[in-house]
């Protein structure tokens, strides 16, 4: 099953198991990349489950001010060494990003603007994923918007259909609706939504998701993502051979990580 039971977190999901013609198995490979919300929500049992899944690397898409334990987060024991890479997709101090994206940060409508305004940030996040050791947790705050954008890029590059990418995004929206807000520094209006509001929202934003993944090669061209990175990201989700030795293990923090 794609849903992962890591205690403390909802909306944790393996990007494996989705149909693609680019994989010899016919589906994206499980155990390579997981998507989710802020890792500080994980309990000791959650970290144990994550290691059992094969977690080796974390690519954190958040802004620096969002990182760290909050008072309501669980206290966990020290963890085994884990490669944690900080690769923010945003710069909320950027004037155009503030004006254009900040009002719609909970909508996939902002994804195209993020790529246009801050291509280097998105390109850097893709490179961080390509360079990480497989068994990667990719996450932001709620695991829905920034993580949704990056998941859409990874899945489209791996040959997954727009329909399945849209369904993956919708799963995260449904998972995080009517929950405590995990967003910082902006308010998360979806935290109070009813199922009916979620259904209406998904119908409204569906065209934005479909447009975003319509031509992945053109998108990666605009981002100036080089061929080795594209190939590495595609192989990560489509090559059935063992890739445990791939990735250059670039870490923002070595040794014992903070939880």
Domain ranges of the chain: 13-238
Residue 9 structure tokens: 């977190």
CATH fold of 13-238: 3.90.190
DSSP string across 159-195:
T--HHHHHHHHHHHHHHHTTS----SSS--GGGG--H
pTM: 0.91
Whether the CB-CB separation of 7 and 29 falls below 8 Å is answered with no
Condensed to tens digits (0 to 9), the pLDDT of residues 3-55 reads: 999 999 989 999 999 999 999 999 999 999 999 999 999 999 999 999 999 99
Condensed to tens digits (0 to 9), the pLDDT of residues 196-231 reads: 999 999 999 999 999 999 999 999 999 999 999 999
Report pLDDT for 187: 67
In SS3 terms, 193-214 reads as CCHHHHHHHHHHHHHHHHHHCC
Higher pLDDT, 249 or 177: 177
Under DSSP, the state recorded for 27 is: B
Provide φ and ψ at 100, rounded to 5°.
Answer: -90, -45
pLDDT at 115 over 80: yes
Reported confidence tier of residue 258, pLDDT bands at 50, 70, 90: very low
Report pLDDT for 82: 84
Condensed to tens digits (0 to 9), the pLDDT of residues 134-163 reads: 999 999 999 999 999 999 999 999 999 999
Laid out side by side, the sheet with 33-36 consists of 13-14, 33-36, 136-139, 57-60, 83-86
> Mean pLDDT of all residues in the chain?
90
Distance of CA 77 to the CA centre of its chain: 25
């Amino acid at each position: 099953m794609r849903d992962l039971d890591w205690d403390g977190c909802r909306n944790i999901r393996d990007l494996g198991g989705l149909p693609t013609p680019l994989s010899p198995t016919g589906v994206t490979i499980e155990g390579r990349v997981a998507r989710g919300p802020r890792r500080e929500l994980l309990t000791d049992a959650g970290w144990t489950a994550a290691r059992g899944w094969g977690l080796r690397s974390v690519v954190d898409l958040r802004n620096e001010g969002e990182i760290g334990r909050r008072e309501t987060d669980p206290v966990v024991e020290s963890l085994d060494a884990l490669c944690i890479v900080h690769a923010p997709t945003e710069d909320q101090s950027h004037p155009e990003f503030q004006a254009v994206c900040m009002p719609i940060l909970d909508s996939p409508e902002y994804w195209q603007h993020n790529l246009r305004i801050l291509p280097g940030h998105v390109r850097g996040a893709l490179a961080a994923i390509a360079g990480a050791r497989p068994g990667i947790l990719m996450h932001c705050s709620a695991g829905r918007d920034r993580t949704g954008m990056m998941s859409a890029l990874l899945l489209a590059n791996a040959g997954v259909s727009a329909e399945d990418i849209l369904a993956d995004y919708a799963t995260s929206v449904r998972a995080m609706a009517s929950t405590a807000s995990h967003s910082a520094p902006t308010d998360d209006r979806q935290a109070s939504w009813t199922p009916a509001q979620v259904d209406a929202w998904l119908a409204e934003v569906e065209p934005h998701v479909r447009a975003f993944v319509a031509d992945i090669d053109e998108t990666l061209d605009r981002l100036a993502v080089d061929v080795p990175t594209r190939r590495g990201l595609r192989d990560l989700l489509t090559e059935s051979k063992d890739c445990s030795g791939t990735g250059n293990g670039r870490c923002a923090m070595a040794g014992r990580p903070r939880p």
